[in-house]
Structure 1
């Protein structure tokens, strides 16, 4: 048999059988070789989906190379609602509306999210064919008739293939123009060849029948042009072309052809907008979406687009978050996804080469035989020499990278992760900028394309109902006399060091190190204020919703708060990274309602889902904007068990020794106000909380009271550092 890809060979050169049925591989023995020689293909089928173009990729590519065209008449996949609408047409619902929605489902019946399906490369090629006239589609259905079965469906199945020498092949039988029709179902069909005996007459009969349908001259069937709205949505996604033709390897190396998970949740509008934005930026960029607005799910849905021939690397900050990603990964990608966890708890080094070798070698045959493949890891592993060596030689068009909490990856410790050359790159973070680290932030932005992130703020999420509304309640706590004096002393020392740094052209490193140490020691005074445990105890004695997450500074502070809880016989658990067994047990009890309070340090800040929890108590907080934004996000997830959330924030005051115009006292209050203002901005009681704070600070003098209205909230989404 001649080479199937030869466009010069004709149909008569093929050794075609008189009939085919499942088991004889009709796709590769009949359909692909015939199409690769065709200049015209007329097809009438009960059902049509674009995956039929995928499974016959080589043949369709040959048809395009030959300058050929394809005409399809199909019946839309009507559901019960469509039938009801057809039977009871009103002035508000026209037949074209029904046809449009039904045809959209028919394009990919297994995927309810048609809009996402339209964005794959397969569909871009389909779009190009429609736009350039290589493919025309018309829709046929049996009109409702009260005297006949109103649910009749056009179900004819025939095809006529013509080559450049006017040789023709016709086939008729049971199969639809769908992926399953050609590859999975039990099907059979007869074949007629124009160069054999009197078979050309039978072929002409079928051609005449098709032409009558195409021109809507069959009295039993109504045939409509492809609805304009559907056609427009298709052609708008036509790909870039070379010499007037699309990149045919999009057919030959089809991406996205494997079966998706059976049930896919509907995307929220902002999630679809984020995916569209990423696609429009050539699959590079950062999604700066508020905590709780579905970053993980959005990323996985984005990663499904045309990704079957790509290895996906997902970098997640902690092993706890890896477990959450794994749950969603299986839901979105399907249970047959091949997943290799590359962390200290798995022996990944012995397996990784076997997983990545097909992608490194670019062996499409081997890649096509594999299920979707994912490496999920942490920044520690992703930045290691062993991991980067394993994925180093994968061609960029075979690799996509997702980095969760992407701000972490800009640290000096983890930056080597960004040496991995992935053709598609997606970063996720509610706060992608690294505070006080302009270089690290710039490196992150450069890796993901340099453009400003896609943004969806907490305020937008609350306004649109994706996050819970919340109240903000500051809990005032004064420094002791000794603490405030220590704060003043550290401030004095900082002033002396700053003077030395400014006066020296080449200051020694020890001065910078000393300054950093003093800043840490001074900040610790506020974080570990001696009166905080007692203030927490007073909070426990007040009415407040539970369960509650309590964010602490360190283990010593946790011990102090435990005493307050135990005095009052409260049920609590401790969630800290250096107590792994206690951590897992405590979190399980908290989720199941066995305890009311969960004491945590920073390991609970990022990503861990606790949607039913309505209350956060911030005992200790730094001046890092990201920290309190993430802590707020832990309780803003919506849940049937809460109608709103509450944030209690220990607001540190300088104490009774502060003078009315004391700069150090104002410094303390300004720092606390920056956090409070950001949390108040989106709170439903923000105005009331601001007025109350002004009254409380009036005791320190009008100068302190006025700070409430003068201090601005920090911008959670600062502009790209590449612009500065």
Structure 2
């Protein structure tokens, strides 16, 4: 077929259209030329429409791609200042680093090897663009919008501009395009002019004729890496394998609407491993890696089996958050949701909960409860237990507490626990109870490093700042240290091992008192202001983590007195916490908080964190890092 045999819409968006099926794949299958400005180099794997790729190649198709390497800020400055020799090396090093990361990534290895094969075969020709700060807005928009042009053998051409989420290192068939404007050259003179302009602009870029942009050949050393991997691969087999991966993702997806989300590769792997283990296990995935959506995929699968999911959460914030996620993601189902806790007491009616949890229900039902409510004898006693129940626990480390542990008496079939940090710090008994009920960690865990390497979480820089204790703080510290020294000396048995003494109640109490001095040191308050004065820019989103409400109030008052847009966020605050987060998302500013942002709450992307106090509990670091 020719491109003009299709009746393309003037625009598409993922909410209403299947962009892959309706536009991208038909264009790829019926074109012989595809020119693309793809943004960062790593995004080039997204432009290959996997199901249509073979036909494009068999048609004799050729792609020309202009991309940019990901260059750190210091190297970008050097390039902009005209250090040409260094600039070439920086570009080459950045590309080689990206290529090696892609080829070594468990999820991106196959598509990256396909890219390597197509480059080696001459199907894809790559060039590298360095955009200078003084480039025109139109040029910058071209790279931001990811302009593309398809051409067929009859001279028909269709161009498009689209937004694309390039931080998602998954294998979406439509490149995870969110929305596009489409302009064919056969409809009217206006669209033809837009196509002609896009073609001319692309060719000028390709030939390095655009002011303030340097477009050069892909580095030879980088291309040699592709050639090495291409010689070891069969591109057609790799395409088939990637297509199978995509089909699995679509099969597991909780969101069956047009343009709906599909699980990322690490989520699909987790779901398949969970199923292989009898649909039981603990999902140990870093904050920000999509645990809720992974669970929703398992929940949809459970509903299709006519089971009754019971979702347990530790807080009212997560209760509301889960309700919204369920309603939006599973909106195509005729779903009933029973909320228990936070003032929702309908479940307490005689026989109500038993009816909702009985086997063989004709309609899809989900029970969503706080852990506090589900731990009550009334809740547990009212449940109709059995293999038809599916227990899902979010922030599952919380369910191992002595009170919440009562939930683990509920008899059920499938079980899934979610937590970036499932092991309870300093509580082996509670940890073992969680593992005994839900099963082992679903392999492999998805760590902070995995999340950063896969683009789920951003890379970050960590800057420690030093303060001194005040004279009075130092005096108390020294007194406590002396008491500790004497107490340890009297309790230790020999010099070879003194670790056991730290389990002593007196010693633990003194250590806690001494740690408190560091967490609440008075100089931290003025340090917070100094850091903000030196680094904060209007529109940024900062979170300052404090130890307690007293420290929070001191920091907040000091920032407000100095004219900063600062506001508090914690469980005992006055006002609407959800509105506070919405304000933070729209306007930015400085959010001064304590622990209630640590677990599960979805917050707008933050640009900076200032941690004034933290414990040795690894959960604090992992949860807080995931907020950035």
2:555 counterpart of 1:561: yes
Could you tell me which of 397, 405, 412 is aligned with 1:422? 412
**Paired residue for 1:16?**
none
**Paired residue for 1:316?**
313
Shift of 1:512: 4.8
**Paired residue for 2:261?**
265
Flag structure 1 segments of 5+ consecutive residues without an equivalent. Answer: 1-77, 99-228, 238-255, 504-510, 636-724
Check 1:259–1:563 CA distance in 2 against 1; reply closer, same or farther (3 A cut): closer
**Paired residue for 1:93?**
54
**Paired residue for 1:607?**
600
Could you tell me which of 452, 458, 461 is aligned with 2:448? 458
2:571 counterpart of 1:571: no
Could you tell me which of 334, 345, 348 is aligned with 1:347? 345
SS at match of 2:601: coil
Check 1:281–1:591 CA distance in 2 against 1; reply closer, same or farther (3 A cut): same
Check 1:394–1:79 CA distance in 2 against 1; reply closer, same or farther (3 A cut): same
Shift of 1:359: 3.9
Give the count of matched residue pairs.
394
The whole-number CA distance in structure 2 between the counterparts of 1:84 and 1:490 is 73
Shift of 1:485: 3.0
Shift of 1:273: 1.2
2:432 counterpart of 1:439: no
SS at match of 1:549: strand
Q: Deviations over 1:37-62 (max 9, x none)?
A: xxxxxxxxxxxxxxxxxxxxxxxxxx
Retained in 2: the 8 A contact 1:310–1:359? no
**Paired residue for 1:287?**
283
SS at match of 1:561: helix
Retained in 1: the 8 A contact 2:255–2:329? no
Retained in 1: the 8 A contact 2:284–2:442? no
Q: Deviations over 1:138-197 (max 9, x none)?
A: xxxxxxxxxxxxxxxxxxxxxxxxxxxxxxxxxxxxxxxxxxxxxxxxxxxxxxxxxxxx
Shift of 1:430: 1.1
Could you tell me which of 372, 385, 403 is aligned with 1:394? 385
Retained in 1: the 8 A contact 2:273–2:443? no
Shift of 1:357: 2.0
Retained in 2: the 8 A contact 1:573–1:590? no
Shift of 1:612: 2.7
Retained in 2: the 8 A contact 1:359–1:395? no
Q: Deviations over 1:352-378 (max 9, x none)?
A: 843542643x3x3xx1x21x2111112
The whole-number CA distance in structure 2 between the counterparts of 1:522 and 1:479 is 12
2:606 counterpart of 1:590: no
Higher Cα radius of gyration: 1
The whole-number CA distance in structure 1 between the counterparts of 2:319 and 2:300 is 19
What's the TM-score once normalised by structure 1's chain length? Answer: 0.50
**Paired residue for 2:164?**
none
The whole-number CA distance in structure 2 between the counterparts of 1:347 and 1:498 is 52
SS at match of 2:342: coil
Q: Deviations over 1:587-631 (max 9, x none)?
A: 3322221x6111111111112222332111101111111112211
Flag structure 2 segments of 5+ consecutive residues without an equivalent. Answer: 1-20, 34-51, 60-239, 494-502
What's the TM-score once normalised by structure 2's chain length? Answer: 0.57
Shift of 1:92: 7.2
Which deviates further from its counterpart, 568-577 or 543-552? 543-552
Q: Deviations over 1:384-438 (max 9, x none)?
A: 11111122x3212x11111111111112121112112221111111111112212
Shift of 1:562: 2.1
Could you tell me which of 398, 402, 406 is aligned with 2:396? 406
RMSD, aligned CA: 3.6
Check 1:277–1:613 CA distance in 2 against 1; reply closer, same or farther (3 A cut): same
The whole-number CA distance in structure 2 between the counterparts of 1:621 and 1:350 is 40
The whole-number CA distance in structure 2 between the counterparts of 1:413 and 1:620 is 28
Could you tell me which of 374, 377, 384 is aligned with 2:376? 384
Check 1:419–1:491 CA distance in 2 against 1; reply closer, same or farther (3 A cut): farther
The whole-number CA distance in structure 1 between the counterparts of 2:601 and 2:408 is 25
Retained in 2: the 8 A contact 1:289–1:454? no
2:312 counterpart of 1:331: no
Could you tell me which of 479, 490, 493 is aligned with 2:469? 479
